Structures are given as C-alpha cells and as structure tokens.
Amino acid sequence: MSTPTRTRDDRAELTALIAAGAAQLTTAWAILHTSQQTLLDRLAQIQGGRAVGAAQQIRTALVAFNADVGEFDRRARAFVERWAAQDLPTAYRDGAVRALERAEADRSLFTWTANHQAALTGLTAPFWADLIRRITEAVRRAQAFARAAQDAARSAVGVRAEQLLADHPLDTVIYSNQARHPVRSWAAAALSWQGVATANHGAINTARDELGAEWMQVRDGPECGWTSHPDTDHADGTLRSVDECAAYPSAHHGCIRELYPRPDLTGRTDIANGDPA
C-alpha cells in the first residue's frame, strides 16, 4: 500500500457540512440577540414603570420577546434533529468510504451493518444531548434576562440597556469555566468536533470490520499532540493501533485529524504506537 498523500479536497464535503451547520445554528441563535435588543429598545421608551399604560406596554413587549425565544427553541432543536439524523450519518459514511479508498479497497464494501448502526447511535446520542443542553441553557438565560428587564422597566431607575446586555449576553455561549464565547465560534468548534470524531469513527470501524486492519496512519497538524494539542507525543505521520485511534479520534476542538487504514501492516509485531509510518 502506498503512503497516503495529502490533497486540498480530502475533506471538502465534511468541511462544507460543518460550515453549513454552524451557519444554521448561528442564524437560529441570532433570533435571541436581535429580540433582546428590540425588547430593550421598547422598554426604554416607557417612562416609568408606574405610568398609565406602562404595565400593559411591558407585558406586550415581553410577550413578543417570549414568542421569539420559542421560535429560537423550535429552530435550534429542528437543526439538532437534522444534524443527528442526517448530517452525522453522512459524516460517518464519508469517513468509512474515504478509509476504503485510502486502502485502495472497493468502496462498496461499506454497508450499514448492525455494528456500524450501533456505533453511530453511540456517537450521535451524546452529541445530540450536548447540543440540546446548550439550547436549553440559552432559553433559560433568555428567560432570566426577560425577568431582569421586566424588573428594571418597573423600577424608578428604569432600563439600563448596557448593564442588562453585559449581565445577560444572549449572543454568547457560557462554558463550564464561565468563559463566554461568541455563538458563531462555539457552533463552529462544537460541530467540527462532532463531525470529525464521527467521520474518524467511521474510518476506524471500517478499518477493523471490513479491512481487518490493526494499524492506522495519522494525518494531523504538525504541532498537534496525540491526546491533546500540547501533548509532546506528536500525532502527524505516526502509526497507531485501531484501539488507540478509537480512544483518540480527535485531540481537541478544531482538530483536523484524519486516520487512514493500513491493512498491509496487519500481523506485524514490530510496530509500537507512535512509530513513524
């Protein structure tokens, strides 16, 4: 088997799939931020929360905002359903077929066997849950903002838009360490992680099941470590066992790792994980 070469369009389809998904998710999220600004503008026009008609104006503005939150929730959840049911299976199959082509094997060897279906389900379930958790959290944060805006509009001080936006930035995603990231960068990173991991698992499982391969060759960024980006065990150009690849199909968000089957090395006992290809 010849050593795999790098071509610019190796992952054009996967890259396009991820980019389109990130754009759709970002567009859905934009509903929240746009509606947030609209609500603040409407509440700022109300002169004092106790003025005649103010209570009704506040309620009307909040009803419109909550309707937008519901629209965001519907659109974002619909995207996640499509992503898990259609896009990730496409990524898995693409990874499997590319693995067969790299091994100079017939691409028709890949079919949706019970093993592949089970593997895909095991991947998509937690990926789906993670995205849904982010959407649920965004709705919760939007509701918290609405309550804060309502309280401000009813107070003597009135609405302080800059402070409310700083306290409730609905155009960001908050990580577990409380770091705030723009929705666009989070969506691109999250979907890239899921898409690359899924495609690589398609390659790994096909290498094991269809090709009987024990080793895979790694393509990665020149400075990327095997278990994480700063790992000094650099991944690019090395050989890794199929089991080791299954443990680390990707090292970090934004990782470009690709895994190529090497069935020509099956049975070799003189290879160790990390040896150069």
What is the Cα Rg of the chain in Å?
24
Reported pTM:
0.89
pLDDT at residue 35 tops 70: yes
Mean pLDDT of 136-155: 94
Tokens for 175? 């990580």
pLDDT at 30: 97
Give the pLDDT confidence of 57-108 residue by residue, as tens digits: 999 999 999 999 999 999 999 999 999 999 999 999 999 999 999 999 999 9
Q: Is the dihedral of CA 181, 183, 188, 194 positive or negative?
A: positive
Whole-number pLDDT of residue 51? 63
List, for residues 254-277, the tens digit of each pLDDT value. 888 999 999 999 999 999 999 998
Q: Parse the chain into domains and list their residue ranges.
A: 12-211, 212-277
Average pLDDT of every residue of the chain? 92
Residue 132 has pLDDT above 70, yes or no: yes
Residue 149 has pLDDT above 60, yes or no: yes
Among residues 253, 143, 237, which one has the least CA distance to residue 190?
A: 253
* pLDDT at residue number 258: 94
What type of residue is 72?
Answer: F
What is the pLDDT at residue 9? 47
**Range of lowest pLDDT (50-59, 98-107, 198-207):** 50-59
* Residue 4 pLDDT grade (very low, low, confident, very high; cuts 50, 70, 90): very low
Whether 248 shows a pLDDT value over 90: the answer reads yes
Residue 244, Cβ density class (10 Å: 0-12 exposed, 13-18 middle, ≥19 buried):
middle
